[in-house]
Structure 1
Amino acid sequence: MTTTAPLPLTATTTCPDLGPVFDGLWSEHGPVAPVELEPGVHAWLVMGYEELKALTGTPDLFSRDARDWKAFQDGTVPPDSPLGPMMFFRDNVIGYDGEEHRRLRRPLEDAIASVDHRRLRRTVESVCADLIGGFAGRGTADLVAEYAAAVPLLTIGNLIGLDPGQSRELLDAMRALFGSQEDSQDGNRRFEALLFGLAESRRADPRDDLTSLLLGHPDLRTEAEVLQSIVVLVSAGNHTTISWIAQTLRLVLTDPRFAGRVRGGRLGLDDALDEVLSVAPPMINMPARYALRDTELGGRAIARGDALILGLAGVAHDHRAHGGRAFWQSGNRAHLAWSAGPHACPARDPARTIARTAVATALHYLRDLRLTVDPAGLEFEPSPWTRCPASLPVSFTATHEAPGGRP
């Protein structure tokens, strides 16, 4: 067993290249590696395919309820920790297992099932066209700040009933929440306050939107449960989709192999999006499960109350799962980007519609698209969980013709 200090989890998200970091973790530790969440706060990063399936599929052993986290119980993690918004217990579908989880998941599944995908695609196309129209005449843009960061939330905001200005306020709050930095607690408060105001508005004046649907759902018993369901619907679907869009565009701009296959038609857009999910998923690491008793996983002795992080990017480096070949080249698309088990993401189809439409629209309208900085100098948003480019400064052939219609 290694005696080296655990790797800070942020080293797996802010590094220039994921490959060497995860290969190093696998080489030194195997499928379950010790990591540090913040100074003095340790956890296990689970990267093995079979180990992740066991972790997500046995809630009677590995709980989603953060009240089982020993480091929080004993005060190692203080109540004001920046880890709180992503790791502390929430009284919603994310925080429970068993029947209570199933009850709280049903309204979300019903809300997602109610989405008309043709209408959704048209909404995304309109959002994308408006955003591109705002910078097309300049011939330059930041495809994160001016595009990828806005598309999902403006779209989701439309679905839940927010106006564009409120959606942008919500985006600023969510950036802080997901960053797990010093402003994460304040971001969480602003995020919930905006959604609480929306719920109050729709209770007085129901509309044809997902907020009104959730307010009337029989499985949601209190106003707090309605609010938390909206929180999950927005937070789970937004930041991850931003990262999915931005990572795909980054690869088109920086990876000649990937770009050539996409632009040359040898790699369909859905296949390209799946490749990103496999090797650089929107959630590089996902919090968390908590051991309910002493156990063993991946050759590691796991103590009761230990936190285990889902290493969704690390699984691409599990050579046991794909015969020692590169994960994507093996043809194995059994990635775990959506997680697995009872808590697997139920919104993968709407997320794909948003991401596919956003990438397709950008590639269609922005001619001669190219990055204007050294790819090696691109930085990523600070977060131990996601790996979203902080910016993608580009140039392209300027046009004053407003985008419109389907690309």
Structure 2
Amino acid sequence: MTPPPLTATTACPAPGPVFAGLWREHGPVAPVELEPGVHAWLVMGYEELKTLTGTPDLFSRDARDWKAVQDGTVQPDSPLGPMMSFRDDVIGHDGEEHRRLRRPLEDAIASVEHRRLRRTVESLCAGLIGGFAATGTADLVADYAAAVPLPAIGDLIGLAPGQSRELLDAMRAPFGSQEGDRRFEAVLSELAEARRDDPRDDLTSLLLGHPDLRTEAEVLQSIVVLVSAGNRTTIGWIAQTLRLVLTDPRFASRVRGGRLGIDDALDEVLAVDPPMINMPARYALRDTELGGRPIPRGDALILGLAGVAHDQRAHAGKPFWQSGNRAHLAWSAGPHACPARDPARTIARTAVATALHYLRDLRLTVDPAELEFEPSPWTRCPASLPVSFTETLPGCPDLQAGEESDLGGARRGKSIRPSEAGR
């Protein structure tokens, strides 16, 4: 019997019932199909995920250990490649090599000034709102969420506004396209070359001077990881939170009424509907067992980061998320856990709070059932969030006449008064 496709967990109106069904039928470790003929294990149990991520001597992050690659089942041009192929960077290695490549990233992230980052994101978001405020309508994905994380990260690494827009255009190319990838790395290579001759107070200069990075290629790949790993998931985090405000009256009333703070709202999204639903991957280094399943050497195991919310053993039948609980595994765990959760939270919190503060009477303009999600077996992000609003709150900064957000490249918009918005 062919296992269900992994995309069944993402290409659906609501993933909760799908994960609940997988749990009922298979328990904490379920067989899935990644593409026709390519099978893997979806690990959804809380303790099983901790074991999977915490024992790299048994479950490798190195895709060269994947039997389906070794025997040619997965071809070099497989659509699984962009997310699952081996990369000679911090993500692709375990052990001391991983620790060596991770230290520069941890040091760079620890140096981020969150007050400055918050001001940058506030200015960026206000500029984006200024681009559409006079119309009274917007797509909160294309016009807002998708235009926030990368320019904010670009400011941290030292990109000029024009370079941020160029990088954003490169990342909007079809995922994994050679042209988009080529231009993406070219922009970052140019930045690294400029900072080598003229160091500044930015993360690129810090990485260039870090003793653990031995070659220019390692510096470049570290910058690539900083930018690419944080962009798509933070877009999804912002968009998913705004989607729930617009479509879930219970969630919206608690946020609007102040009973659920923005940070707790963001954590609820991570716990029950995270932007990275399924994360690739680990590869068994020997025959083993996990969650009662025999796992042959070389099998791929996918981290079911949303499926863990349905592990009744982890929360004794109570709701998996409770206010203030950050025990979810949306950031993964173990040596490869995301080191950038604090900057990502600052960006997401500021973007969500700014939109909810300044856009008044915000409402979805389509039936929630009509919302579609971007096609991916890994992430869950609304393809669009068409909204209308009646006004913008007085005092929204950076809505000056004819100006453009330096970082976001927002559309030019005339100066507005709150009473004019939406007319």
Deviation of the 1:37 alpha carbon? 1.2
- Partner residue in 1 for 2:385: 392
CA distance in 2, matches of 1:201, 1:121: 26
Query: Shift of the alpha carbon at 1:402?
Result: 7.2
Match of 1:277 in 2: 270
Please say if residues 136 and 400 of structure 1, whose CA atoms lie closer than 8 Å, have aligned partners that are also in contact.
Answer: no
Point out the more displaced range, 167-176 or 101-110: 167-176
Amino acid at match of 2:117: L
Aligned to 1:72: 69
Q: Residue 104 of structure 2 is aligned with which of 103, 107, 121?
A: 107
Among 343, 349, 353, which residue is 2:342 paired with?
Answer: 349
Q: Secondary structure at the match of 1:93?
A: coil
Q: Is the 8 A contact 1:85 1:185 kept in 2?
A: no
Segment of structure 1 superposing worse, 198-207 or 351-360: 198-207
| Counterpart pick for 1:156 among 153, 158, 171 | 153
Q: Confirm whether residue 93 of structure 1 aligns to residue 87 of structure 2.
A: no
Counterpart mapping for 1:30-179 below 5 A = 30-175=27-172, 179=175
Amino acid at match of 1:379: E
- Match of residue 325 from structure 1: 318
Q: 1:23 to 1:127 in 2, by over 3 A?
A: same
- Further displaced range: 391-400 or 362-371: 391-400
Select which of 191, 198, 212 maps to 2:184. 191
Q: Is the 8 A contact 1:85 1:184 kept in 2?
A: no
Q: CA separation in 2, counterparts of 1:92 and 1:51?
A: 26
1:337 paired with 2:333, answer no
Distance in 1 of aligned mates of 2:163 and 2:323: 44
Q: Would the aligned equivalents of 1:367 and 1:396 in 2 still touch at CA under 8 Å? A: yes
Q: CA deviation at 1:280?
A: 1.0
Query: C-alpha displacement at 1:189, in angstroms?
Result: 3.4
| CA deviation map 1:251-310 (0-9, x unaligned) | 000000000000011111111111001001121011110100010111111111111110
Amino acid in the other structure paired with 1:322: H
1:186-265 to structure 2, matched below 5 A, reads 186-265=179-258
Q: Distance in 2 between matches of 1:186 and 1:317?
A: 40
Q: Which amino acid aligns with 1:268?
A: G
Contact kept, 8 Å, 1:71 with 1:77, in 2: the verdict is yes
> Could you say what secondary structure the match of 1:267 adopts?
coil
Residue 196 of structure 1: CA displacement?
2.0
Name the residue aligned to 2:13: 16
State the TM-score, normalized to the length of structure 2.
Answer: 0.91
1:124-179 CA-partner distances (Å, limit 9, x unpaired): 111111111111111000000010001111100111122333323333443557x5
Instruction: Provide the rounded CA distance (Å) in 2 between the counterparts of 1:175 and 1:24.
Output: 34
Note if contact 1:84-1:185 (Cα within 8 Å) is conserved in structure 2.
no
| Aligned counterparts of 2:163 and 2:36: Cα–Cα separation in 1 | 36
Distance 1:172 1:284 in 2: 25
Is the Cα contact below 8 Å between 2:267 and 2:326 reproduced in 1? yes
TM-score normalised according to structure 1 size: 0.94
Quote the Cα distance in structure 1 between the aligned partners of 2:10 and 2:343.
25
The aligned length equals 398
Report the Cα offset of residue 325 of structure 1: 2.4
Q: Which stretches in structure 2 are left out of the alignment for 5+ residues?
A: 399-423
Deviation at 1:187, TM superposition (A): 3.6
- Letter aligned with residue 303 of structure 1: P
Deviation per residue, 1:22-47 (Å, 9 max, x gap)? 01111111111111111211111100
Match of 1:315 in 2: 308
Q: Give the CA RMSD over aligned residues.
A: 1.7
Q: Is the 8 A contact 1:278 1:313 kept in 2?
A: yes
Amino acid at match of 2:165: R
Summarize the Cα distance change of 1:293–1:184 in structure 2 as closer, same or farther, 3 Å threshold. Answer: farther
From 299, 302, 320, the counterpart of 1:306: 299
User: 1:188 Cα shift?
Assistant: 3.3
